[in-house]
Every structure is written in structure tokens, then in C-alpha cells.
Amino acid sequence: MSRPRLVVVQDPPAVHVVDPPEEPIVTHDPVTLRPSLVRRHVTWARVTIGACLMVIVSVATFLRLYGLDRVGFNSDEAVYAGQAASIAHVKELTPFFPIYRAHPLLFQALLSVFYRFEVSDFIGRLLAVLFGLATVVLGYSLGRALYGRRAGLATAAILALMPYHVITSRQALLDITETFFATLALYALVRYGTSKKSMWLYASGAALGLTFLSKETGIVLVAAAVCFLALSPDVPARSRDLIGSLFVFIGITVAYPLSIALGGATTTGRSFFVWQLLRRPNHSLFFYFGTALPAIGLLVIVVALAGLVLHRRARSWRETLLLSWILVPLVFFTLWPVKGFQYLLPIAPAVAALAARTLSRLPLRRGVPVPKILLSALLLTTIGGTLLVSSWSRIEPTTGTVLLAGSGGLPGGRESGDWLRSNVAPDARLLALGPSMANVLQFYGNRKVWGLSVSTNSLHRNPVYQPLPNPDVAIRRGEIQYLVWDAYSADRSPKFATQLLKYVNRFHGRVVHAESVKSGNKVTPVITIYAVRP
């Protein structure tokens, strides 16, 4: 009698005839296989997968925590952390940061729970790190549900090392929370596609609602979901379920306009909406192709595209879903005049899953010729190495002065704010070049700071920023006692930098505090505070 044979299929077949298995498929000869051997193999496989995932999460944790608070907040971080402090009723910051400003308040509300005990930039960034790590783990579940466990590990590893995800999850920004819930919505749609159970469609509606409450730009992903369902006849959706999931989405998102109405901030909300529609472009049309996409990883994108070409015969609704999730936001934000470095972050898990689809099919099994195994190992090492090197180079302290909003902290901002809080009277008023530095100094220094570049025309400024109509008169009357020059704003607005230095000369300004960054033997001034007198 022949001995029983154990055959374990861990990955989906090349052509998706059925959905990928959740657990290994065990087949054997007519002679029944001993249950103990099956349990031993399954247990060993789970231990191996768990160990690999722990290593991935450990690397992701290190990249996101290393030197986390070495540089202080940038402007956006200061605003969101300031809102959280206002929600927590922190009296030192409430006068400078109104609760209702530009965006929904899910992240700020969560952060306010911790700010009731202590306000610090480290706590704000740590909350973002936790959402980032949760997205890495969720990336494993996403890749596994799509293409099997190897693809799940590859998806998690790419997200763990991806510079785009590492940079943003180290900052107290709304985008990392938005990306977590967007990935959750994508996972729910995958489960709906594999199971056809209505509960997953409703779950995707709920997750998209939370995505919107994290940041209103997440509503673009609703269009991506609709596009996927419209282009995938093999994933049918009943009208009743579509309407039900829509109501779930609306039921969650309505919390934002209700909070504005109950908080008496409808005028601010309406003004901000009009301002967003009429804003002038802040970057060129192809901004993301030179910033965000390279931060995702050019090799990752190439591998994802190569997989679509090489495995085009195995294309299914899975690829339609991932491509819809990527292309709809990419096209929208490319055409939308207002652009930000981190706006495309929600597409990163989908790009990682597409690349993982290709990588999971590399010949690494026994019986494959050695040259093919070596080439596959070389490709994996190259992709992982380039991502790691790029991420490591970006988490080191910034020594330059030209930064993109949302791509890093402002060197010297925290130190200057601390100096203000310790050495300047509480009722002192300052004039900075722009609102970015003003936000940072108000968060750390707890002193009122105006922005010289804030326009007096309400159509050309953020409605929450107050302009100073006549800085010259304000200084002459003694209403402004300090002027703040910073290299970041000066690089973006040289006209206003020149104007501020004219005020410094006209009103006998003297340097009372200065911050610089050192790069090798070169010392670059980044912030200078001048005391002026009428």
C-alpha cells in the first residue's frame, strides 16, 4: 500500500477561476492522512507567517519611531494639534486655534483625549504612528484576501518600508488616519467580491464614512468604489444593498456638518468651501509625478505595472478594484488646482498590493532552477533595499530650508516658540512672514502671531486667517513688538521677505533670538526674531 502524500497549496493558481483560499488546501491519496500531521503542518505555517509579520511590523515601528520628535511640528501639524488642544479645553492654546477650521475632526477628537492629560508634539505624532502601523498590518490582510499569504506579507513589507507611508505616519496629520480607514474600506470591498455577502458592502460604506470624517478629500474614494462596481459584472450588487451602504455612509458623514451647525461655525465652513473652490493653483499640473509617486517607490510602481502586463490573462475583478482605487484619486488630484504632498497617500496600499501580486508569483519554490531563484531573490532584495535606504535618508533631521507642506517638520520652530513662551510677555504681538510660521510659533509660544502674507482680500486667503491691514501703522502704534523672519517662508515668498526686512530696518530692529541648522561645516540661519520699536 502506498504511503499517504501531503500536498499543500498556499497560493492561488495563475488563473483565478475561484477565489483564493483562506487556509491551505490539503489533499491526499485515498488512504486517510493522519490528522496530527495536518495540524502540525498548519501550525508550522501559521507560526512562520506570524514570525515574518512580526519582523515586518518591528522594522516598520523602528522607521516610524526613530528620532520622532527631533524636529518640531510643521504648520499643518500645529493646526491639528492646536484643534485637539482646543477640544480638550487647554486654555493656553484655545485663543489661537478655533475648533472648527478646515477639515473634519476625527483625528483631532482622538488626540484631544490624550491632550486632557498632557500636550506635546510627541503624543500627537505617536497617535499617527499607531494608525500607520495598523495600516501595515491591515495591508497583510488585504494582500492575503486578494492573492494569498505570500502576497499579504509582500504588501505589508512594502508599506512598512515605503518612504511615502513612513514620512506621513511620522507626522500628526489627518492623512494617515484617512489612509487607514480607506484601506479598511478597500479590504471590505475585497471581502464582498470574494464572498458576495451584503454585510461587507455595508462595512465598506461605514469605512468610507470614517475615511471622510478623517479628511473630506476621502470622498473621492466613493467614486472609485462606484467605478469598480460599474466595471465588474462578475461582482453583482443589488440595488437594495447599494442604497443601504449609501445610507450607512451618509449616516456617518453627517456627523461633520452637524457638529459645525451645533458649534455655530456654519459661516466658517461655508467660507472655507468657497475659498477652496476659488483658490489659485499652488503647484504645477504634474506635481505628484515628481513628488508623491517617486516617494511610493519607482521600482514598486514598475513591478506593479509589469505584473499587469505579464499576468494580463489572469486579470479579474481584483485588478479592476485596485486600478479604480488608484486611478480615480490620481486623476482627480492631478486636475484639482490645490495639491499637497500627502493627498495621494490612500492609494499607497493599493499600489503595494498590485506589486505584491507580481512578487508573490516569483519562482522561489523547490524544484525551480537555481538561476531563476537567484534572480527573484535579487529583485526582492533590490526593491526592499531601495525602499529602506530612501526611507532612512528621509527620517534624518532636515537640514535644508525648502520643504513641502506635509513632508517634514520646521527646523527651529519649536525652539523659537519655547523661547517666546519663556522670554516674551503674554500680551506681546508678533508679525511673521506667513501663516505657516505663525501657526508653529502660536502652538509652542502661546503668543499671538500675525502673517504678513495673509491677503486682505477674503477670496485669496484661508477664512480662518486674520490679515493685518496696515503693518506699518501697527508697528508705529506699538501694536506689534516683534518681527519674525524664517528661511522656509522667505524661499516661498521672497517679496514678503523683502518687505519684512524693510520694516526691520525702518523700526530699528535688533536680533533677540536666532535659530540655525548645521550641515557639515555650513551653518544656515532658519529663524530670526527681531525686537522693533515705534
Residues 310-330 pLDDT 10s: 988 888 999 999 999 999 999
The C-alpha atoms of residue 474 and residue 484 are separated, in whole angstroms, by 15
- The grid coordinates of residue 171 equal 507626522
HSE (side-chain half, CA atoms, 13 Å) at 69: 11
**Taking the CA atoms of the chain, what radius of gyration do you get in angstroms?**
26
- The grid coordinates of residue 322 equal 485596485
Q: What is the pLDDT along the chain (534 residues), one digit of tens a residue?
A: 445 444 444 444 444 444 444 444 444 444 455 666 666 656 777 888 889 999 999 999 999 999 998 999 999 999 999 999 999 999 999 999 988 776 888 999 999 999 999 999 999 999 999 999 999 999 999 999 999 999 999 999 999 999 999 999 999 999 999 999 999 999 999 999 999 999 999 999 999 999 999 999 999 999 999 999 999 999 999 999 999 999 999 999 998 888 877 776 666 666 666 666 667 777 888 999 999 999 999 999 999 999 999 988 888 999 999 999 999 999 999 998 888 899 999 999 999 999 999 999 887 766 667 676 778 888 889 999 999 999 998 887 544 444 454 557 888 999 999 999 999 999 999 999 999 999 999 999 999 999 999 887 766 677 778 888 899 999 999 999 999 999 989 988 899 999 999 999 999 999 999 999 887 788 889 999 999 988
The C-alpha atoms of residue 9 and residue 25 are separated, in whole angstroms, by 5
Q: Are 210 and 202 in contact (CB under 8 A)?
A: no
SS3 of residue 120 by DSSP: coil
Q: What residues pair up with 522 in beta bridges, in sequence order? A: 519
Sign of the Cα pseudo-torsion (81, 84, 90, 91, in order):
positive
The C-alpha atoms of residue 454 and residue 462 are separated, in whole angstroms, by 8
SS3 of residue 344 by DSSP: coil
CB neighbourhood size of 419 (10 A) = 19
SS3 of residue 16 by DSSP: coil
Residue found by looking up cell 451647525 in the block: 261
Q: Indicate the domain borders of the chain.
A: 48-83+123-395, 413-531
Q: Are 65 and 58 in contact (CB under 8 A)?
A: no
Mind listing the pLDDT tens digit for each residue in 173-198?
Answer: 999 999 999 999 999 999 999 999 99
Q: Are 301 and 351 in contact (CB under 8 A)?
A: yes
State the pTM of this model.
0.88
The C-alpha atoms of residue 327 and residue 339 are separated, in whole angstroms, by 16
Q: Which is nearest to 366 in space by CA: 10, 3, 2?
A: 10
Q: Which is nearest to 436 in space by CA: 54, 75, 53?
A: 75
Mind listing the pLDDT tens digit for each residue in 84-114?
Answer: 999 999 999 999 998 877 688 899 999 999 9
The amino acid occupying position 255 is A
- The grid coordinates of residue 479 equal 501694536
Q: Which is nearest to 358 in space by CA: 293, 295, 311?
A: 311
What does DSSP assign to residue 14? S
Fold of 413-531: D-Maltodextrin-Binding Protein; domain 2 (3.40.190)
Q: Give CB contacts under 8 A, 24+ apart, made by 133-137.
A: 133/57, 133/60, 133/61, 133/64, 133/169, 134/180, 135/159, 135/165, 135/169, 135/176, 135/179, 135/180, 135/183, 135/349, 136/56, 136/57, 136/60, 136/160, 136/165, 137/53, 137/57
Q: Which is nearest to 362 in space by CA: 348, 381, 349?
A: 381
Strand-by-strand arrangement of the 429-432 sheet: 448-451, 429-432, 482-486, 522-531, 510-519
